[in-house]
Structure 1
Amino acid sequence: METVYALLVGINEYPAAMRAGLRGCLNDVAGARAALEAAAPGRVRARVLTDGAATAAAVEEGILGHLGRAGAGDTALLWFSGHGTEYPALTPQELLLEPTGRCQALVCVDGPLPDKRLGTLLDGAATGGARVVAVLDCCFSGGASRAEEGAVARVLAPLPQWRPAAGARDLSGPARPAGHVLLAASRIGQPSYERPVESPEGPRIQGVFSYALTRALRRAAPGATVRELLAEADAGVRRLVAGQQPVLFPAEPGGPADRPLLGGTARRPSPYLLREGPEGWEVDCGRVHGLTGGAGTEFTASGGRPVRATTVRADRTLVAPEGWTPDPGSVHAVALSALALPPAAVVLDTEGAESTEGAESAEGAEGTERAEDAGRVPLPVSPLLREVAAGSAEEAAAGLLLRVEVRGGRARVLRRDGSPYVPPLPLATDADGARLGDCLTRLVHWHRIRDLSSGLSPLSGHVRVEVLPWHTRDGEPLRPDGNGEVVLSYAGAREPWVTVRLRNTGPRPLWCVLVSLDDRFGAGTDLFPGEFIGPGMTGHALDGQPLRLVLPASRPVRPGASVRDWLTLVVAEGELNTVPFHLSRWEPDADAVRAGAPWRAPADGLLRLAGPGRPPGDRDLLPADPFGPGQWAASTTALRTVVP
């Protein structure tokens, strides 16, 4: 039986010198324990540390001794409710790892426990194969809280004697991925509040995040993932207070965020989530996804239940379920089934072969017929694709054009200038037709990521992507050539090494994610998965490690060989879910569809990008219109690696 080892830490009573007593932390711990035991009856082994017993040494020993007992298949859970603090990053190592220029720490009853130290301890608890989760209901701001009536911020200014030594970290190689998943009550620079709430035990004071998360856990369906629980807790927090944004890390798809909190296998992440926000039902995507208006935008929940958009905000869309009523406080996975965006134009050149857009076979496979029947070419039914006639005005006006030329049982997917996107594809069976459709939709999705644009944005240009040769990484960044590309050259058989940094030249902290794309139509966020960068501060891709620009194995290192990459920077006022920025490279053999299996063209739209909601009046640290939408910007840097 999978066991849940829980270390529950709550501190109401801090020493008088701190002048920082709280009232809801012990209630948080009691509520968390009750919710865990209800969700995993008979499987919870809890250790509780409260008030004077919750020293930094006791918390460390609890992680090592109690959570460290968790083995493969078990869950090790730390829940901390108390104060948080931060202090300036001073050492070169701290400045490299803390792009906000501030180091954060939990405040135990006798002093701070730095977050880097905490992360190392939690990762150590994962070495036995356990699933490790940390829930932190404290704030990491330095006292710059905005008090709200009925709410108290859990923040302490650091005492002079609290300055901890810099945490050791091996910088000789790439940083290891985190071995735990973090659910934080608020993002860096924000308070987390406690206030009176109505709990199952009656009226009492609790941390807003602890209350929302335990409520989500009590109401969740069995097997709800960490991502889904946080989505509901996020909405619950925003229904109670403004200016507090819960955070999930790491948020990469298929990782610990997509596993059930208390046991079970990872699930494929949902592109979008429907939840009840402070203004009613909302889906966690918006204009940053490319949605341009409410009309024509539709989502579909399981069972084909429609949800129509009414208002598209910067990072979320207000919606109206049609013909059904979701349970209050619930979270539903939805897919984008209709787009207000113009799709990519597809020209079919088939030497007389007939297109079958929208057709269905006798067997019921949607959007495609057997490719060998009557010489027809299968074009998947997808909001990403629209067939246009060759030589038409629609072809001339298309932003993205895909020309499919069919000759001799093979399909060539060509650009506007006639150059191929991918090698020719066979077109003789249903599986071949499915592969062609998958290729077309993947190409469109890849281009939407690379060419993501916010138009005129006040954030444009505030963060710069700088690429420098590794041996001169403290010098001037490389400049693009006349084609707008940063060109890097092999030195004999040795590939070029570079460092990539993100420099915030603006007046405000901004959240940044760096999406790397290659010319084999893959994309990912491994370089800089998403983090706030403070004004005048610098974030480093791969935590400052070198980025090696290597030709793929299929391209021998010989004069004239080259490879292209792109770095798309997305800058926002708040965190965005990076799930939609992950796209596997186009590998036709690996993506082959079994012969005879029905194939359904994707119907989830331009980008599967989800951003946490942002309530009116939530200005955080940004001098923005308090009633205006959140802002974002995107830019792309092109790289070309060549062999002279």
Structure 2
Amino acid sequence: MGTVYALLTGINAYPADRCTPLTGCLNDIEAAEELLLRRAGGRLDVRKLLNSDATVNAVETAIRGHLGQAGPGDTALFWFSGHGTEQPAIERVHLDIEATGRYQALVCTDGLLVDKRLGALLNEVAAGGVHTVAVLDCCYAGGATRGRHLTPRFASPDPAWFTAAARDARIPEQPAKHVLLAATRLDQPSYEGRFGGRTLGLFTYALLGALRAAGPAATYRELHAAARSRLLVSCEYQRPTLAPAEPGGVADQPFLGGAGAREPSRYLLSQDQRDGWQVDCGSGHGLPSGPGTEFRVTRPDAPGRAHEQAATPGRTVRAVTVGPERTLVEPVGWAPETAQVYPVALSALAVPPASVALSAPGDPATARVLERAVAEAGPGGGPSPLLRLVGQPEDAGELLFRVEAREGLAHVLRRDGSPFVAPLPLAGSEDADRVAACLVHLTRWHRLRDLEAPFGPLTEQVRLEVTPWGSDVPLLLDGSGEVVCQYGLGPVGPVPPLVSVRIRHRATGGRRLWCVLLDLTDSYAAHTGLFDDGRFVGPGHTAYALDNRPVQLSLPPHRPLRPGAFVRDWLKLIVCEGELNTVPFHLDRWDPLTPLGSRDTVLRHADGVLRFDAPERNSRDARPAEAGGPGQWATQTVQVRTVVPQW
């Protein structure tokens, strides 16, 4: 594989008389460089332009000079974190080029780099057979390479900037030869926010999280969909864009032009003379911190690996400290042999709590009632391990619920102020308990939807595909990161689309794998009924949901079938080496009218730990469980939007 030439540009310190300074862009660049070093290692050749160094001329020169060094087989990456802007197009020639009637541009420290100018520069780099990528975390980024508690990355520029840059809009439109991962559509603002006390762009935070969880063969289309799903937890109004999104093009190539899947080793348990027992898996592999994470000893994955001693399968070690590259652990009820190495697999995962920020302006009594309800939202009326009260939204983690009490209603909001659910009544203690139950329910649903296995041997082996009924061609994610299925129009009205959902075990050899298919709905429900609560799929075989009967996609009865109406489903595939207990994956849709007493069933599986245990057997079930339990596991998610079109 060739060299990865990266140009990382971040600007916090904008001139105050021109636009608002930012605080998260240099953090974006630091985090991006860290990930690139992990991905590309010695193949990375990086240049950074930060703050005052990031002038228009410096950026253009660095694209031509630094990225222009790349040749066939190399990769060129341009990453920009800063302000973006737009301006009405006035002259006829500009209106002919700009379909929106507006210019879009990156805001450098001394002026603008207009979208089409940037696109032309990147196409020059790509013209020599270079795999070329642009990642733009700024406002209006979706057009940038076309040939409240959050801070917007938007600048209202000096009109003189556009006078100087107007000539750039005359560059003829050409088909893009590079791939663009943009923070927004071309008509939207982007935002930065604080995560655990550190400010980052929402898109950068989401994209880096998706990259950490992905294997080396993950495509831009897959990464874009994963980042979009992560970002929507914080912001309803910012929608990342992938371009070009045509099937079979650069969007379907691996990130940074990777050569495809590699076969990594299993995680290993070994002893460090200073720190004790450790597993070579950490936060850099997607492992969350917190009590409850465990690893289970498995069989060696291949004969001849004498350094891996096969202790009794099923023995566990518990995480004590999760670091970037390793996790310090303690054995549970057994003593590993000194100087031996054991293959292990993740068997229980600590679920990070959601952050809850309460606000009841001028009503301290209501604030106290809400605080009490959240503090008693766990099993047995104790604290819930799924919820953590924070003083300010800025101190929150990735999943934040802003609960605002206003005029007798509790509003459960995202970072950007958009609602998770309809406002809930808040007239007393019982209503406050219902708000807390809603927060637990939403946390469980989001943790299931966003569950991602650290990259392992199974990541690239099994694929989830959705095809139109009667067709063998899988539907691809569109530029918004979704598979879109439309209602048809029949003689008596709208006809819901029919699809086939299949699971392909692409390996030509090896063992059969246990597959669980979750359907998570936008009514905050989850079930595993599409695939019989799980089933084994052998290498080289394909299994179908509903035993190869059509899967009907339709709006729920309480949503009117009018043009423009839609519903979303997240189809999540969980793949394991052995059978998996699916009971914790079942969740009824959120219904504020459900009696509070029934939430005890939910709380039984809301202890903050997701366990990859084999299902319980009764005496009539003759099927043996796989030795050692589920062992290695992997995940894949496909987001489906079912739409009633404008007829």
Structure 1 length as normaliser, TM-score? 0.46
Higher relative contact order (CA 8 A, sep 6+): 1
Structure 2 length as normaliser, TM-score? 0.45
